[in-house]
Amino acid sequence: APDIDVKAVKADLDQLQSIADANGGNRAHGKPGHKASIDFLKGKLDQAGFKTQVQEFDNNGATGYNLVADWPGGDESKTVMAGAHVDSVDTGPGINDNGSGSAGILEVALAVSKSGLKPAKHLRFAWFGDEEDGMVGSQSYVKKIGADTKKIDAYLNFDMIGSPNPGYFVYDDDARLEKVFKDWFAAKNIATEKETEGDGRSDHASFKDAGVAVGGLFSGADYKKTEEQAKNWGGEAGKAFDACYHQSCDTSKNIDEKALDTNTDAIAAAIWQLSS
């Protein structure tokens, strides 16, 4: 798999920050910054040769949007899928939560295009709306595809992958998918822990509930880093992984570049390996 240039990921985060700035400081469900974020991502994916769809749903009296991007080719009965929620909370621009996952999978998708990848399995990327009101966008997507959930070979979720005081957590929901990430980090001598803070709390839950094998990465939200974790990962013990979680200070400055870089490279490695 290629090395993903973290500068490109950060440039995308700057774009999402600008979108929030131009739209009342957030990118939340029912607010103009949410749709503007979808349009920004769609433009890049269309240009790269993805087949994109914007799917609408309704919640709390407002329209929400999911963006689905298919890379043409590969066995669709064994689809490998990566997803991230693109909405923020009302109180801030949501750059770590979840510009980070949104930009991370965008750059991996663009790398698929750039390298002209011809995977054996079909590849699909998705950006879900309204995760923050209870995974509404991903639930709407899973409901819409119905029995086609059986064709999803793996769903990988990325929600908060650039936390400023980062941890390296691997979802433990499926042993095969957990191992793909664990082995990649181990080869780089980066310690990982099983993800437990987020169980049932992001879009992977919608897929898991429908019987799909799920995996993913997470760098921590409002839990505090322990002494032991600070020894393994650096950063500050006794402080939250993301002290700006769900706050107005979750801006483009609220990102650890090394965590963002490492996690995006890990996503690329997993996508290349799982789709081959």
| Residue 265 contact partner, candidates Ca ion, ligand PHE, Zn ion, none, CB within 5 to 8 A by sort of partner | Ca ion
- What six digits make up the tokens of 169? 């957590």
Which one of the spans 31-39, 62-70, 143-151, 255-263 is the region binding Ca ion (CB under 5 A)? 255-263
Q: Which residues of the chain form contacts with ligand PHE (CB under 6 A)?
A: 97, 131-132, 159-160, 197-198, 201-202, 218, 221
Which of these segments, 23-31, 95-103, 185-193, 227-235, binds Zn ion (CB under 5 A)?
Answer: 95-103
Residues that bind Zn ion (rule: CB under 5 A) add up to a total of: 6
Q: How far apart are CA 166 and CA 188, in angstroms?
A: 16
Residue 193 contact partner, candidates Zn ion, Ca ion, ligand PHE, none, CB within 5 to 8 A by sort of partner = none
- For residues 19 and 28, which CB has a smaller minimum distance to ligand PHE in the complex? 28
Q: Given candidates 52, 79, 98, 219, which one binds Zn ion under the rule CB under 5 A?
A: 98
Residue 257, interface with Ca ion (CB under 5 A)?
no
Does 56 participate in catalysis according to the annotation?
A: no
Q: 172 touches which of Zn ion, ligand PHE, Ca ion, none (CB within 5 to 8 A by kind)?
A: Zn ion
Interacting residues of 52 by C-beta distance below 8 A, sequence separation 6+: 42, 45, 46, 67, 68, 69, 70
Is beta strand 152-158 parallel, antiparallel or unpaired with respect to 62-71? unpaired
Residue written as token pair 């005081």: 165
Three-class secondary structure of residue 203 per DSSP: coil
How many C-alpha atoms does 97 have within 13 Å on its Cβ side? Answer: 29
Distances (CA, A) of 119 to 50, 71, 128: 14, 9, 24
Residues 116-175 that bind Zn ion (CB under 5 A): 159, 172
| Closer Cβ to Ca ion, 8 or 243, answer by number | 8
**Helices (DSSP H) in the chain: which residue ranges?**
6-21, 32-47, 100-114, 136-145, 175-187, 204-209, 227-233, 257-275
Task: Select the binding partner of residue 82 from Ca ion, Zn ion, ligand PHE, none (C-beta < 5 to 8 A, by kind).
Answer: none
Q: Does 3 bind Ca ion (CB under 5 A)?
A: yes
Report, as residue numbers or ranges, the catalytic residues.
Answer: 131
